Amino acid sequence: MSGGQEPKSVFGRNDVRAGIAFGYVALAAFVFWPASTTVNATAPGAQTVVTQKSTQVAQAVTAPAAAPAAAVATPAAPAPLDKEAAAAIAALAKISDYQKARWHPLHFKPAIDTASNDQCLACHKEVLDTKVRDKSPAGVAAAQSVAWYQTLDTFEGGQDTFHARHMSTPFAKTVMNLKCNFCHQGNDPREEAQHSSATSVNAGVTMRKMVDPSKTCLMCHGKFPGVVMGFEDQPWHALREGMETPDAPNGCLSCHADQFRTERHKVNYLNAAAIESEAKTKSDTCFGCHGGRAWYRNSYPYPRHPWPGMDPVVPEWAKNRPTQSAAEHLAGVK
């Protein structure tokens, strides 16, 4: 070559980087995109439980069917839609233009605050219709492995999707009353990071997240608040052994039956009566949302609703706690 110059490559660095990025995206889509198939049901009267280890062959064992759960207070069935509401939902379902759907008023304030599940699911029904794969891409059968949530006393049945576990599984329908807009408060496609422009200062969004975890997820997925109860950093599984017996299976009620924080769960996204009923026989009803499914290293600062016999002296850790739940969580609560 003249002048000692190296020959120029047809592909530049940017092309290589783009190719690598595309490869990662394609791999992620193949691995994580759920199939539209359903999990095979187990035979009546038995449940298949399989231990899955990376270095051992999974061995299936058949466990006896769980005893019928005690009668609990279950939420009433939703009222049938009137003609006007049904027509509005039908109109939403007919929208086929993506940009028109993306900029629909329901995705913005104030309409999102009063959006019903029926309105949301008119376009987003796949979040409940989609099922987990029969097998993973590596060939592991869903029926022959145990997801972490299947180890809890409160979960019944085979593996299920994220939204189903929050809205349509038996335990979710019993103790929760979650609406789509409890988590999804809308987003602005033009700007999803606050303070990045003059128009986004009051956008009310959280760093490109479709939800604000500090006001939603953390409520039921925070750290066990043992420190404020005098347990220091001791985990609940190390404490519960001395508090639970066959006659009193829920150690949480040792203190919370009639001593502390007895005014609780009276918000519109939970079914308070059902929680209290379930808690009598299942400790995971309490612990599951108060440390048992902790995705965060901090606890949610729950309001301290006054309860009978409450100490008038406010502890140091509670001095900045509210004494009432947020107004939007009290709407419609009797």
Contact (Cβ atoms closer than 8 angstroms) between residue 233 and residue 226: yes
Amino acid code (one letter) for 148: W
Asked if 64 and 48 touch (Cβ cutoff 8 Å), the reply is no
Q: How confident is the model at residue 278 (pLDDT cuts 50, 70, 90)?
A: very high
Rounded Cα distance, 199 and 295, in Å: 33
What local confidence, expressed as pLDDT, does residue 127 receive?
93
- Whether the CB-CB separation of 219 and 300 falls below 8 Å is answered with yes
Grade residue 242 by pLDDT with cuts at 50, 70 and 90: confident
pLDDT confidence band for 271 (50 / 70 / 90): very high
Q: Tell me what pLDDT residue 204 has.
A: 59
Selected residue with higher pLDDT from 71 and 250? 250
Neighbouring-strand partners of residue 295: none
pLDDT of residue 208: 56
Q: Are 214 and 145 in contact (CB under 8 A)?
A: no
The whole domain housing 257 covers: 219-270+282-330
Q: What is the pLDDT of residue 2?
A: 42
C-alpha–C-alpha distance, residues 106 and 152, integer Å = 36
183 inside domain: no
The fraction of the chain above a pLDDT of 90, given in percent, is 51
Asked if residue 164 belongs to a domain, the reply is no
The tokens for 190 are 């033009």
Residue 275 near residue 175, CB atoms below 8 Å: yes
Q: HEC string of the chain?
A: CHHHCCCCCCCCHHHHHHHHHHHHHHHHHHHHCCCCCCCCCCCCCEEEEEEEECCEEEEEEEEECCCCCCCCCCCCCCCCCCHHHHHHHHHHHCCCCHHHHHCCHHHCCCHHHHCCHHHHHHHHCHHHHCCCCCECCCCCEHHHCCCHHHHCCCCCCCCCCHHHHHHCCHHHHHHECCCHHHHCCCCCCCCCCCCCCCCCCCCCCECCECCCHHHCHHHHHCCCCCHHHCCCCCCHHHHHHHCCCCCCCCCCHHHHCCCCCCCCCCCCCECHHHHHHHHCCCCHHHHHHHHHCCCCCCCCCCCCCCCCCCCCCCCHHHCCCCCCCCHHHHCCCC
**238: in domain:** yes
Which residues does 254 contact at the CB level (< 8 Å), separation at least 6?
A: 243, 248
What's residue 255's pLDDT? Answer: 92
pLDDT value of position 4: 45
Task: Indicate the average pLDDT of the chain.
Answer: 77
pLDDT digits (tens, 9 = 90+) for 100-155: 998 999 998 889 999 999 999 999 999 999 999 999 999 999 999 999 899 888 88
pLDDT given for residue 51 in this prediction: 33
286 part of a folded domain? yes
Does residue 245 lie within any of the structural domains? Answer: yes
* pLDDT value, residue 14: 46
What percentage of the chain carries pLDDT values higher than 70?
Answer: 70
C-alpha 286/C-alpha 235 separation (Å) is: 14
What are the pLDDT digits (tens) for 2-20? 444 444 433 344 444 444 4
Q: What is the tens place of the pLDDT at every residue in 294-329?
A: 999 999 999 999 999 999 999 999 999 999 999 999
In a domain, 79, yes or no: no
**Is residue 276 pLDDT above 60, yes or no?**
yes
For residue 264, tell me if it sits in a domain.
yes
* CA 197, chain centre distance (Å): 31
Kindly state whether residue 133 falls inside one of the protein's structural domains. Answer: no
Q: What is the pLDDT of residues 36-73, one digit of tens each?
A: 333 333 333 333 333 333 333 233 333 333 334 444 44
Contact (Cβ atoms closer than 8 angstroms) between residue 173 and residue 72: no
User: Is 270 exposed, middle or buried, given 0-12, 13-18 or 19+ CB atoms closer than 10 A?
Assistant: buried
Q: pLDDT tens digits for 208-217?
A: 567 888 999 9
Total of domains in the chain: 1
Q: Which residue has the tokens 């769980």?
A: 66
pLDDT at 330: 94
pLDDT at site 239: 87
What's the CA angle centered on 212, arms 208 and 232, to 5 degrees?
Answer: 125
